[in-house]
């Protein structure tokens, strides 16, 4: 026995110290290594943010060029991986493929990954950041029955991802700079978010000294749930189910009814209680993309806008401080770009990989590192004697 603090859902427990990301939920503030997310989203780009998260400072031009070169060098998957992809059922969810393929990387690199060696930790980090877009794009290609498209190292990280998703042998996808910028912004806005459920999962898995690829696969599995990264897919599916703006009041009533498990997906956040600063930038980006594509009047998007308006005016949502979160707007952009809803969460996973990896490296460098081992409040039977099956 012993005295433990009981904190279900870890609403008030700090599990570690960290210098990577700061969030002030009341002020709607999100800082990476001290830099505000809106400044990064408007002035930086994804690989620069990756460098910042991993190494603590913005890179010089030479440092950035070297980093981009290293990431580019690792974008290919081992050719044997192709068989692994092909082993999945045609209708597998791409998140199931991602959990499997990333976990399987442990089998490809077990002989060169000694987590006690800082250089090997570095190589594992770069491999993960570099290969994740290829894995996500191939999961997509497999699901639509198209041939895998190999990475092109002359493109930016976001352009290359769009190329691997949308190019087909007969027609190379022509990347529109506004769309690749919007893609890059989605990557940046999801890059890290301190000790959220999937990051905490990665840290807990790694606290036992597990292989890094297996730890990241655990993070991907956690992210999949609809209360976390799966919310972007669930949100778009909800909008499709609502269908037309006249149905909105019914769904708002359902979300408020405590006897109905339905929630407005893409609304609410554990930490942000005023607004989600990522959602602000994402909303602007969504407007830009819809205008570019000339689909501002798309019925689904009209429903999204009207739902946002009605929920923000409703007393229930106002009192409980429930605002659209990052997943509400990212789904709209991805839908407009032509991604199927099943790809939304894999895109979140690839963006968040740098956050998981940065937190993993930080944890392993901590001399105080201990295995994560929560306790429990036991509410079961006290000790009793075994009864043979004939006497029960
Ligand atoms: N629709 C209707 N009611 C809601 C919603 C919602 N989306 N979110 C919270 N509530 C209510 C909830 O019923 C509870 O009411 P009461 O106090 O009367 O019991 C109150 O608001 C507080 O909710 P909670 O579930 O105790 O809050 P939490 O901090 O445990 O959960 C959350 C946060 C994000 C899981 C939750 O808001 C939610 O389920 N939202 C929908 C899913 C979603 O959009 N998730 C993405 C989060 S942002 C990106 C990410 O993390 O991946």
Give the domain ranges of the chain.
8-227+352-364, 231-337
- Residue 148 CA to ligand 1 center (angstroms) comes to 38
Query: Quick one: pLDDT at residue 275?
Result: 87
Report domain 8-227+352-364's class: mainly alpha
Query: Quick one: pLDDT at residue 382?
Result: 97
Query: Quick one: pLDDT at residue 329?
Result: 87
Query: Quick one: pLDDT at residue 238?
Result: 94
Instruction: Give residue for tokens 């409040």.
Output: 377
Residue nearest to atom 1 of ligand 1 (CA): 263
Q: Would you give the end-to-end CA distance of the chain in angstroms?
A: 31
Answering whether pTM is above 0.90, one says yes
Q: Is 297 helix (H, G, I), strand (E, B) or coil?
A: coil
Neighbours of 299 (CB within 10 A): 12
Residue nearest to atom 22 of ligand 1 (CA): 320
- Please check whether residue 366 is in contact with residue 250, taking contact to mean a CB–CB distance below 8 angstroms: no
The fold of 231-337 is: Cytochrome p450-Terp; domain 2 (1.10.230)
Query: Quick one: pLDDT at residue 180?
Result: 95
Query: Quick one: pLDDT at residue 296?
Result: 75
- Residue 270 CA to ligand 1 center (angstroms) comes to 7
Query: Quick one: pLDDT at residue 104?
Result: 94
Residues involved in catalysis: 269, 327
Query: Quick one: pLDDT at residue 89?
Result: 93
Mean pLDDT by runs of 10 across the 392 residues of the chain is 84 95 95 98 97 98 98 95 94 95 92 86 96 97 94 96 94 90 97 98 96 97 94 91 93 95 93 90 89 81 89 94 90 91 96 98 94 94 97 96
């Amino acid at each position: 026995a012993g005295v433990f603090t009981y904190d279900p859902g870890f609403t008030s427990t700090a599990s570690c110290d960290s210098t990577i990301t700061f969030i002030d939920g009341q002020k709607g503030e999100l800082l990476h290594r001290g830099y505000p997310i809106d400044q990064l989203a408007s002035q930086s780009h994804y690989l620069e943010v990756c460098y910042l998260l991993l190494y603590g400072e913005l890179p010089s031009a030479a440092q950035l060029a070297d980093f981009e070169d290293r990431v580019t060098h690792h974008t290919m998957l081992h050719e044997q991986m192709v068989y692994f992809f092909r082993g999945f059922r045609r209708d597998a969810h791409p998140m199931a493929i991602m959990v499997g393929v990333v976990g399987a990387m442990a089998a490809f690199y077990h002989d060169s990954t000694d987590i006690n060696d800082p250089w090997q930790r570095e190589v594992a980090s770069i491999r993960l950041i570099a290969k994740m877009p290829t894995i996500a794009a191939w999961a997509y290609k497999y699901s639509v029955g198209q041939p895998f498209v190999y990475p092109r190292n002359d493109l930016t990280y976001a352009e290359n991802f769009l190329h691997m998703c949308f190019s087909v042998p007969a027609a190379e996808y022509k990347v529109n700079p506004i769309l690749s910028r919007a893609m890059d912004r989605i990557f940046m806005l999801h890059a890290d978010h301190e000790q959220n459920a999937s990051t905490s999962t990665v840290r807990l898995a790694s606290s036992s000294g597990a292989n890094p690829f297996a730890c990241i696969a655990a993070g991907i599995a956690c992210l999949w749930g609809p209360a976390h990264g799966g919310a972007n897919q669930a949100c778009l599916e909800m909008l499709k189910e609502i269908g037309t703006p006249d149905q909105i009041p019914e769904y708002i009533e359902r979300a408020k009814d405590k006897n109905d498990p339905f929630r407005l997906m893409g609304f609410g956040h554990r930490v942000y209680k005023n607004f989600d600063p990522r959602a602000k930038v994402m909303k602007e980006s969504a407007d830009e993309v819809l205008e570019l594509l000339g689909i501002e009047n798309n019925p689904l998007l009209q429903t999204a806008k009207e739902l946002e308006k009605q929920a923000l005016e409703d007393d229930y949502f106002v009192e409980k401080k429930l605002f659209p979160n990052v997943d509400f707007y990212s789904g709209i952009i991805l839908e407009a770009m032509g991604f199927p809803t099943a790809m939304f969460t894999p895109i979140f996973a690839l963006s968040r990989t740098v956050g998981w990896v940065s937190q993993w490296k930080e944890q392993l460098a901590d001399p105080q590192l201990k295995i994560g081992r929560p306790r429990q409040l036991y509410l079961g039977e006290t000790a009793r004697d075994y009864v043979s099956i004939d006497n029960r």
